[in-house]
Amino acid sequence: MKTILVVDDNKLNLAAARKVLSDAYKVIPVMRGAQALTYLENGECDIILLDINMPEMDGFEVLEKIRTMEQCKNIPVIFLTADNDTETETRCFKEGAIDFIAKPFVPEVMLSRIGRVLELEELRRSLADRLEQKTREVSDMKSKSRQDALTGLWNRAHTEETVNELISEGAKGALLMIDMDNFKAINDNYGHIAGDRTLKMFADTLRTFSDEGDVLCRIGGDEFVVFINGITSKAELSNRAADIISDLCYKIEQCKFETNSSVSIGIAQTPEDGTEFNKLYNSADKALYYVKQNGKNSYHFFSDKVQQENSRGSKTVDLNYLREFMSRADSGRGAYLLDFESFHHVYNFIRRFVERSSRDVQTVLFTVCENSSQESDAAETELALELLEKAIYTSLRRSDVSTRYSSKQLIVILMDANEENGDMVAGRIIECFNRLYTGEKVSIDYGIARMDGAELFGKKVLEQ
């Protein structure tokens, strides 16, 4: 049953209205505008019949206050008036009433007008609900079109638009470009389902270490971007980057991936490194590249890179100085020991060199093997691998290069060595290892292949 609030200072008018309406509606009668406002603070009604001429507060004043109440702004109001002149009627509609009823009441007219208004209100509410639903649907579609389907983060188009808008409004902060090192190995070794789970885990970590005003984005693949809004301190940004790296590396470790995967971050700040998205993106990308070229699993500020370049640019050097400067950090006497990604680049550089010069270069793959009569464990294998690395470092020349391929294998590039020389060097390494390793649980085996300029990385070695 619909509820009607009737406001009239005349008891006879209230009684008459109640008599006409009570059979079809629930009637709430009050005699003052203040009483009506008090009721509406917590009570509900579907329509208000409001007398114009009342003491203390007339109907127009009451209606003005009603429209300021959020929960009442759409309740239809019909004025009750004994004045039937055009001026009064005009003011009724101007003030926001939907209709008016003249006094004294004519029951049939009152019921008819109230019924029509309630029908119109039902139609209005229905249309408003349908419009709101359609608006939500359009908003959802628009939102989904700007989101990455896998992670739920924003895509590049939305992120670029949002970051540019924030900067134009005076926002300061930093753009972090975040990349997972060796992510391809997870897909290749464990499948794309594991890769997708890792990317979702990546996104969850970014949400954990982000604030409400930050913008989180997946550019594509394993490349993510975060715009940190409002933080300009390098110390705070460094802490945020370190937390992201630490959390992700811990989660990757928990997944038991044997891929040597880690996280690298490049950081560009606004306004010093750029005042729009693309400039910040390019600056952060250069900072990320710096991390990739200097060991990975860390973060770097673009401004630090620029400062270093500017510092070097303060004076001009000749080739002799440059040669001396570049070699200062290299105090080693044995083979170069590189991480796998860096080794990969070096390998392909040497392969192109071999293709053009026909030099003899051997690739050796050492494998830690478990002795069938002994039970080894991961700690024993790791110890053996560390001792093998030491044997390789001390047995090889400075021109040779080595890397750990997996938790059981090491790869070595022997420059200017034929197969006979390669076997001899490999034997020397194993002899050195046997002097260092006193256990009986593992032994070392190896395969050797001549590097061919046309071969793919590791193909011949891994077939041994």
Partners of 323 in the β-ladder: none
Each residue of 224-260: pLDDT tens digit? 999 999 998 999 999 999 999 999 988 988 998 888 8
Contact 351, 461 (CB under 8 A): no
- The percentage of the chain sitting over the pLDDT mark of 90, rounded to a whole number, equals 39
Partners of 224 in the β-ladder: 178, 218
| Reported confidence tier of residue 209, pLDDT bands at 50, 70, 90 | very high
Contact 433, 412 (CB under 8 A): no
Between 309 and 16, residue with greater pLDDT: 16
CATH class label, 336-463: alpha beta
Each residue of 322-349: pLDDT tens digit? 566 555 555 555 677 787 767 877 888 8
DSSP state of 147: B
- CB under 8 Å, gap of 24 or more: what pairs does 284-288 form? 284/175, 284/176, 284/177, 284/225, 285/177, 287/177, 288/177, 288/179, 288/264
| Reported confidence tier of residue 293, pLDDT bands at 50, 70, 90 | confident
At residue 199, the pLDDT reads 94
Helices (H) and strands (E) in the chain, counts: 16, 15
Average pLDDT, the chain: 85
What is the C-alpha separation between 104 and 409, in angstroms, rounded? 102
At residue 158, the pLDDT reads 92
- What single string gives the DSSP state of each residue in 322-382? HHHHHHTT----S-EEE-HHHHHHHHHHHHHHHHHH---EEEEEEEEEE-TTS---HHHHH
| Residue 245: both structure tokens together | 């790296």
For residue 77, the one-letter residue type is V
What is the C-alpha separation between 237 and 243, in angstroms, rounded? 10
CATH architecture observed for domain 3-124: 3-Layer(aba) Sandwich (3.40)
User: Could you state, in order of their start, the residue ranges of all structural domains in the chain?
Assistant: 3-124, 156-312, 336-463
Residue 103 in 3-state DSSP? coil
Contacts of 160 (CB under 8 A, 6+ apart): 277, 278
| Reported confidence tier of residue 141, pLDDT bands at 50, 70, 90 | low
Q: Do domains 3-124 and 156-312 have the same CATH topology?
A: no
Give all strands of the β-sheet with 215-220 in edge-to-edge order: 215-220, 223-229, 173-181, 262-270, 299-301
| Reported confidence tier of residue 106, pLDDT bands at 50, 70, 90 | confident
At residue 166, the pLDDT reads 95
DSSP state of 169: T
**For the whole prediction, is pTM greater than 0.85?**
no
What is the C-alpha separation between 458 and 254, in angstroms, rounded? 28
Q: Would you say residue 437 has pLDDT above 70?
A: yes
Contact 163, 227 (CB under 8 A): yes
CA 307 to mean position of chain CA atoms: 29
At residue 143, the pLDDT reads 60
At residue 94, the pLDDT reads 85
Q: Would you say residue 266 has pLDDT above 70?
A: yes
Report the CATH fold assignment for 156-312: Alpha-Beta Plaits (3.30.70)
| Reported confidence tier of residue 86, pLDDT bands at 50, 70, 90 | confident
Contacts of 448 (CB under 8 A, 6+ apart): 362, 363, 364, 365, 419, 422, 423, 426, 464
